[in-house]
Amino acid sequence: MAAFDRVPSGIDGLDEVLDSIRLGDNVVWQVSSLDEFRPIADAFVGRSVADGRNVIYLRFASHRRIIARGTPGVVEVDLDPRKGFETFTMQVHDVITREGPEAFYVFDSLSDLQVAWSADLTMGNFFRLTCPYLFSLDTVAYFPIIKGDHSFAAIAKIHDTTQVLIDVSPDEGGLFIHPLKVWRRYSPTMFLAHRLDLATGEVRALTSGVDTSRFYARMSDEMSGAADRDIDSWDRFFLQARASYQHGEDMRRACRKMCNMMMTRDPRMRALVQKYFSPTDYFDVRRRMVGTGMVGGKSCGMLLSRKIVEKNLPEVVGLLEPHDSFYVGTDVFYTFIVENDLWPLRIAQRGDGYLRVADSLAQGIENGTFPPEIEQGFRRVLDYFGQVPIIVRSSSCLEDAFGNAFAGKYDSVFLPNVGDPEQRLREFERAVKRVYASTMNPSALEYRRRNGLDTAEEEMALLVQRVSGSRYGDAYFMPTAAGIGYSRSAYRWLPDMDPSAGMLRLVMGLGTKAVDRTERDYPRLVSLDRPTATTMVADADRHRFCQRGCDLIDLAGSAFAEKPCTDIAPLMPASVRPMVMEHDREAERMLRERGQRREVTFASCAGLAGDRRFTTAMRKILRALQEAYDYAVDIEFTVNVDRASGEGAEPRFVINLLQCRPLQSFKGTGSVEVPAASGPVLLRAAEDTMGASMQASVDFVCVVDAAGYRACPHGKRPGVARAVGEAARKVREVTGATAVLLVPGRIGTSSPDLGVPVTFAEIAAFRAIVEYADAAHGFSPELSYGSHMFQDLVEQDILYCAALERGATVFDRSVLCDLPQVGLDAAAADPDIAACIRLYDARGRGLGLWHDLMSGKTLMAFA
């Protein structure tokens, strides 16, 4: 048959009214009860089976069946929409693809999708994606929907997409049938109301005054009994829940539903949210949402951590800065994908185009536009914040969960939020699209694949937060300090420190330098049992290994920027400055001896580390969160210090708790006996390591040569990182191979002068990574525990070692020289890169690796 050919509906009178159902038609039946739809569906199925059609019943709802089980000639497919919008939609599309052209379908009620997904918006997105695909294959599909249960906006989306829309109402012994849309067909009576006699199958137009008045009386009854359809079913539920709460009704069931539909799908997190949240907490989250859906892992963790502190640490609550965040729900992400016709790319990327299609999808996202109703929500957020700087943060439903942190995988965008309202809206929308596009980052995709999440549904919500801070001078905005905290440390850098006391990684200004490995900057590590202790005694050493630049918002330049700490410190109140800046007394003394009197200061956050009020509060917060989670946690926070209120008074401070998530930890905690070396030693270390105990045979060793890398032209150094990635791919091609990477300086740094700027995706295949020092060529490792790169190593159980030129550490690359090498295309194409990198094949050569977590000892040697 040809497209648009006539198809019998099984009701002859209906065929006359509609000029027949046509191939390609999606037919939506608005009914007040599914009992009104069943005889229509039975007639369609009976006639289609008799005509030899391929008839499929898609069963996914909790309501009574539409087509009887075992109906001859009908293929039944069971699906579960509770698995999520994307998964369900893809499964339906897979069925349609498998059944092919000119298949006939009966769907369960679309209204049950609203029940499963809690929002009309998501149901409308499903129909908008599915209807055109069915049309393209010249199918015929019947969809029932319960009228009065959905917003006018949702029905309008269905009306605009479908080919045929028919309203059905009950009448004694029959049904009123009122066509509302019939695509590319018309007759003078087509859009009149009709009456179907169920006994005879006769269909006649309502032309008499008596019949017409009876029909419109029925319509008036239905309209008066319907809920307020100017708002989404999501908001109708919240209005009803709020009314129930105000009337003192039992809210336990409603709270469970609000948690499930908005906060989290993680069962452990659900239990915690339901324990600590009151009904008003859910209402407040909804009040601050744009769109519908989940608020995502980052938002959930932030909100939960605050409630835990509020309930369990009343003495600390007064030190917490109140939050006023907003949330962009996951349904907005899907609506954006659908509205910008990016769904085919989304499907391809979820399939065999996982990496291949990623760039095209990211570009499509960045070029997309938002529908007016979403823009209106964005304007509401910006109106609230005015011209205060804000940050748009990813809050994927996969983030910050038990088992997967996604630390640093998705973007966060700081916005100075200056300019007129339209300019601020444009910048905000660009930030949202940038975060959405970051789901296609190679490191994020590799992370998902390594954690078995490459086929999981990735629902991206957003957390919009006011940047906590103060103005310094006329142009700069930042918090006094910021950082990350761990309720338990996986690394000992001080003798006899207690890892269970927790630790902080603290920086002046915005917290980006606390989580990134950046040029010339060394955040302060604070062990909360000995907060003032440091491995560096001399002022010169503390000054050398300090933080030199602080990240901030440049209001005049309308940009996120970095400025020298020593330039910003003079803009701070005199009582605040000592909290982050420290004097180099030795340098000042030397200058005085030369007749020069001036201050020499550097950023160290020593004042905060020495403030017992602050460190005690942080230790209590981390302990309380760990006890509530029954799991170690890490947090992100800011600290704002205000000038002292009087002579001799201590400066006041407030802590802003920005994020909390279960701390990913090394999987192996047992012991390994590290033997005495019987052959040449590549590496022996007794400290500066991080990782689970392990013992393995080493098959490949990838080495980046310090001299070659220093001589490599600056513009080509990123090419060395790509060559490391190529070496990792070659290792991955060998089943079960174990590989080690040796690199000078800091791996993953943002500065190619300090080390190789690899992404985590390029090093994820290595079992161990050694950063080695080479003072002759200016390279020094930094065990930056707490950075996103190190979080990745922890999660993937990759051993880290810093081979420093001190103590009993032995590091001798010359023992590899006799091993055969594996060719790399990047090296063959460029002699400068060839001088930097070697991939040695150590299979069968007896190279072993031993590491003991308890003692910190590491050995890599030949047998």
3-state SS string for 679-719:
CCEEEEECCCEECCCEEEECCEEEEECHHHHHHCCHHHHHH
Those residues with Cβ within 8 angstroms of residue 449's Cβ, 6 or more apart along the chain or in another chain: 354
Q: Is residue 123 part of a domain?
A: yes
Ordered DSSP codes for 92-132: HHHHHHHH-TT-EEEE--THHHHHHHS-HHHHHHHHHHHHH
- Residue 512, both tokens: 């980006």
| Model pTM score | 0.83
- Residue 647, both tokens: 């002579």
Q: Is residue 106 part of a domain?
A: yes
- Residue 823, both tokens: 């060719």
Q: Looking at the structure, do residues 293 and 387 belong to the same domain, yes or no?
A: yes
Q: Which region holds residue 13: left if phi is over 0, alpha if psi is between -120 and 50, else beta?
A: alpha
| Strands (DSSP E) found in 244-371 | 289-290, 326-328
R_g of the chain computed on alpha carbons: 32
- Residues in the chain with pLDDT < 50? 786
Q: Looking at the structure, do residues 658 and 685 belong to the same domain, yes or no?
A: no
Count other C-beta atoms under 10 Å from residue 586's C-beta: 14
Ordered DSSP codes for 803-856: E-SSTT-EE-GGGGTTS-B---HHHHH-HHHHTTEEEEE-TTTTEEEEE-TTT-
Domain span at residue 566 reads: 486-662
Q: Looking at the structure, do residues 189 and 264 belong to the same domain, yes or no?
A: no
- Residue 634, both tokens: 């890490």
- Taking each helix axis from N to C terminus, what angle separates 358-366 and 421-437, rounded to the nearest 10 degrees? 170
CATH label of the domain that carries residue 407: 3.30.1490.20
The structural domain count of the chain equals: 4
Q: Is residue 475 part of a domain?
A: no
- To the nearest 10°, the Cα dihedral for 149, 150, 155, 157? -150
- Residue 103, both tokens: 């298949």
- Residue 286, both tokens: 């909804």
Q: Is residue 238 part of a domain?
A: no
Q: Looking at the structure, do residues 618 and 752 belong to the same domain, yes or no?
A: no
Q: Looking at the structure, do residues 325 and 421 belong to the same domain, yes or no?
A: yes
Q: Contact, 717 vs 757, CB < 8 A?
A: yes
- Residue 249, both tokens: 């009704």
Tell me whether residue 530 is exposed, middle or buried, using C-beta atoms within 10 angstroms of its C-beta: 0 to 12, 13 to 18, 19 or more.
middle
- Residue listed under structure tokens 């050569």: 845
> Residue 452: what are its φ and ψ, rounded to 5°?
70, 25
- Residue listed under structure tokens 């065999």: 352
- Residue 542 has a pLDDT of 83
Task: Write out pLDDT tens, residues 817-855.
Answer: 999 999 999 999 999 999 999 999 999 999 999 988 777
Q: Looking at the structure, do residues 156 and 76 belong to the same domain, yes or no?
A: yes
Across the strands, what pairs with 581? Answer: 603
Q: Is residue 125 part of a domain?
A: yes
E strand or H helix at 623: helix 612-629
- Residue 385, both tokens: 């914040």
Q: Is residue 240 part of a domain?
A: no
Q: Looking at the structure, do residues 545 and 426 belong to the same domain, yes or no?
A: no
Across the strands, what pairs with 806? Answer: none
Q: Is 525 helix (H, G, I), strand (E, B) or coil?
A: strand
Q: Looking at the structure, do residues 206 and 331 belong to the same domain, yes or no?
A: no
Q: Is residue 235 part of a domain?
A: no
Q: Max Cα separation, the chain?
A: 113
CA distances in angstroms from 645 to 125, 345, 573, 607, 653, listed in the order given? 56, 59, 12, 18, 12
- Residue 706, both tokens: 């310090």
Q: Looking at the structure, do residues 834 and 801 belong to the same domain, yes or no?
A: yes
State how far the Cα of 844 lies from the Cα of 834, in Å rounded to an integer: 25
Alpha helices in 267-313 (DSSP H): 267-276, 279-287, 297-312
| Strands (DSSP E) found in 467-518 | 470-472, 476-478, 481-486, 503-508
Q: Looking at the structure, do residues 510 and 638 belong to the same domain, yes or no?
A: yes
- To the nearest 10°, the Cα dihedral for 406, 408, 412, 416? 150
CATH label of the domain that carries residue 210: 3.40.50.300
Q: Looking at the structure, do residues 551 and 492 belong to the same domain, yes or no?
A: yes
Q: Looking at the structure, do residues 685 and 658 belong to the same domain, yes or no?
A: no
Q: Is residue 408 part of a domain?
A: yes
